[in-house]
Amino acid sequence: MSAAPAGTMHHESIYSGGIASWLTTVDHKRIGVMYGVTALLYFIVGGVEALIIRLQLATPEGTVVGAEVYNQMFTMHGTTMVFLVLMPLAAAMFNFLIPLMVGARDVAFPRLNAFSFWTWFFGAILLNLAFFVNQVPDAGWFGYANLTSKQYNPGLGIDFWVLSLQIMGIASIASGINFTVTTLNMRAPGMSLMRMPLFVWMALIVQILMLLAFPVITVGLVFLLFDRFFDTNFYVAAAGGTPVLWQHLFWIFGHPEVYILILPSFGVVSEILPTFSRKPLFGAPFVIFSGILIGFLGFGVWSHHMFTTGLGPIADTAFSLGTMLIAIPTGVKIFNWIGTLWGGTIVMRTPLYFAVGMIALFIVGGLSGIMHASTPIDLQQHDSYFVVAHLHYVFFGGTVFGLFAGVYYWWPKVTGRMLGEGLGKLNFWVMFLGMNLTFFPMHFLGLDGMARRIYTYPAGVGWEQWNIVATIGAFVLSIGVLLFYINVVRSLRSGEPAAADPWDAATLEWSMSSPPPEYNFAVIPTVNSARPLWLHKYGPTRDISKHTKEDGTPPQPDHPVERVELPSPSHWPLIAAAGLTLAGGGTMIGLLPVLIGAAVLVVAVYRWAFQPLERPGNPVFGPGGGSG
């Protein structure tokens, strides 16, 4: 893609160019958009899987699907939502926003970033290929050992699941490295860690959690692969091993994964509340340190998923206490969010609706979480619909509402157009209603003894009415989500054009045009405040609400004053990712595809390593550049 000549409008062009320009892009903004679009498509897939589950359970003795397909549906629903929707949707925001928020022109390793995206993309396709060969994973998103052994689960379903998770794990670790370095090492002059936006802080903690948690699931999956492919004994009780080892490895990963899924949402809310309350985040350092504490404590509580395996009183007590401790930093955050709203000049826009909705729903999920931190209570609730209710209040109420708040908030920056405000509020209320209608009754079902993952239940045990309510709720929720997609399409077609800073916000990403120019910052800013744009617009006052905006123009000049060179597009990250996926997925077929995939990977990595980041013809802006 060639850059527009200096002196003309440039920002319409960052998404232009044919398919090849997307396949070879190394621009963090385009990669972010690709993550977002793909995740929102998989959101439909995961949602349809959920609706099939709810249809099956709508009535007793349901016959929509059989037990076998039902198992496949809840397995794919969980795996899809965690790895193909929530993580990549957060990754979309990390990609697009982190460089903009810290004042950088790209990430530390633009091609590695492309490699992460394509590796995840192919891994996600590999997982869903299972549907096309009708060998669908059916052991749950947690894949408990024994259910996954070759003996009890022959066929390729589990192999698809293991291999695609393994491949997507590589993508997560690669992007974890990339964004950790970007955040630590590419901040604009003056942006100390304590001046970093809260969203970037939470994103940094997420990267560290990914880097520490994914190797553990990798090892657990390696053991599983060896057990399945080479008859080893890692999870085989007869050989002296134990399936519980898998549970440990899975949850050492899985519990930090919960925070990997929720912290981005915390970050989003911490950005939105100040903007729409017209005052700084209340006690921002406490919110930061609570996030760090949640991240670290998150590694010490995994066994609370395993109380029913019989760990003994000492372990139960330790993990119980650790879990309850996490309520403290989480409570601190909620307190600070409410403190931010308190006394603020509230601007009731759609992002704030979703942010406040997130806080309310997350509190419900958090409270039920504290309930089963207690071992005796957990022994009653384990594997019941109570837990399903809890985790959906956290993941849907917490993560999805939080990320939707972020989508509504940053959509103008990404696309240059506003999302419809009326439709947005309708979207919120229908989703809010549907969410509570779907998941609140599950608390009652769980306390009434309905076990999760059962594909049907007999009539007359008292579960009928809440199940049909939940199913109706699921369809209301779907309509809510559909309204979001309608809003998106309408905005892209005919949305109101967005100004550079439509919300009068405080952070650097609002200092340039919407969408941002290819080089992000015409001039790398010098940061003197945690709220650099408010400082610029209002001076060092604490009272933002009393001031009218003096100056609507963003502080960024229209064009770079110095020469800016951007990295050249490269197709090697894509090819390397394809080789990796072929080598991994090929193990299900035979040696030949593995060898071909490995050869492609090696060639691509070498070509990539010896290809200069910036080559003749790369985008150049500013004096001496211009035509690129």
Q: Which of 58, 52, 74, 48 is closest to 472 using CA atoms?
A: 58
CB of 507 vs other proteins, minimal distance in Å:
18
* Residues 135-174 interacting with other proteins (rule: CB under 8 A): 173
CB of 560 vs other proteins, minimal distance in Å:
16
- Of the pair 211, 596, the CB lying nearest other proteins is at 211
CB of 380 vs other proteins, minimal distance in Å:
23
Alpha helices for 452-590 (secondary structure H): 464-494, 532-538, 572-585
* Residues 397-426 interacting with other proteins (rule: CB under 8 A): none
What is the Cα–Cα distance from 482 to 431, expressed in whole angstroms? 10
Helices 87-102, 157-185: crossing angle, 10 deg rounding: 10
Binding mask 22-61 for other proteins (x = CB under 8 A): ----------------------------------------
Alpha helices for 309-420 (secondary structure H): 313-341, 350-371, 375-381, 385-392, 401-415
CB of 251 vs other proteins, minimal distance in Å:
11
| Cβ-Cβ contacts under 8 Å for 307 (sequence gap 6 or more) | 316, 319, 375, 378, 379, 382
Which listed range, 60-68, 115-123, 235-243, 269-277, lies at the site for other proteins (CB under 8 A)?
235-243
What is the Cα–Cα distance from 311 to 329, expressed in whole angstroms? 27
CB of 441 vs other proteins, minimal distance in Å:
36
CB of 240 vs other proteins, minimal distance in Å:
4
Quick check: 521 binds other proteins (CB under 8 A)? no
CB of 181 vs other proteins, minimal distance in Å:
5
Exactly one of 60, 62, 140, 241 binds other proteins (CB under 8 A); that residue is 241
What is the Cα–Cα distance from 330 to 367, expressed in whole angstroms? 11
Quick check: 292 binds other proteins (CB under 8 A)? no
Exactly one of 2, 8, 185, 611 binds other proteins (CB under 8 A); that residue is 185
Exactly one of 232, 374, 380, 618 binds other proteins (CB under 8 A); that residue is 232
Which listed range, 130-138, 243-251, 355-363, 461-469, lies at the site for other proteins (CB under 8 A)?
243-251
| Cβ-Cβ contacts under 8 Å for 191 (sequence gap 6 or more) | 102, 103, 527
Exactly one of 177, 334, 468, 479 binds other proteins (CB under 8 A); that residue is 177
Exactly one of 58, 85, 90, 108 binds other proteins (CB under 8 A); that residue is 108
Alpha helices for 143-187 (secondary structure H): 157-185
**Three-class SS of residue 451?**
strand
- Is residue 62 left, alpha or beta, with left meaning phi > 0 and alpha meaning psi from -120 to 50? beta
CB of 247 vs other proteins, minimal distance in Å:
11
For residue 552 the two structure tokens come to 């609507």
Q: Do residues 62 and 19 touch, judged by C-beta distance below 8 A?
A: no
* Residues 304-323 interacting with other proteins (rule: CB under 8 A): 311, 315
Total binding residues for other proteins by CB under 8 A? 44
Burial class (CB within 10 angstroms; exposed 0-12, middle 13-18, buried 19+) of 177: middle
Quick check: 240 binds other proteins (CB under 8 A)? yes
* Residues 191-230 interacting with other proteins (rule: CB under 8 A): 208, 211-216, 218-220, 222-223, 226, 230
Q: Could you identify the residue written with the tokens 């369809």?
A: 475
Exactly one of 60, 243, 300, 628 binds other proteins (CB under 8 A); that residue is 300
Quick check: 234 binds other proteins (CB under 8 A)? yes
Q: Do residues 4 and 518 touch, judged by C-beta distance below 8 A?
A: no
What is the Cα–Cα distance from 318 to 299, expressed in whole angstroms? 13
What is the Cα–Cα distance from 232 to 400, expressed in whole angstroms? 40
Quick check: 375 binds other proteins (CB under 8 A)? no
- Contact positions toward other proteins, by CB under 8 A? 108-109, 173, 176-178, 180-181, 184-187, 208, 211-216, 218-220, 222-223, 226, 230-234, 238-241, 245, 248-249, 252, 299-300, 303, 311, 315, 606
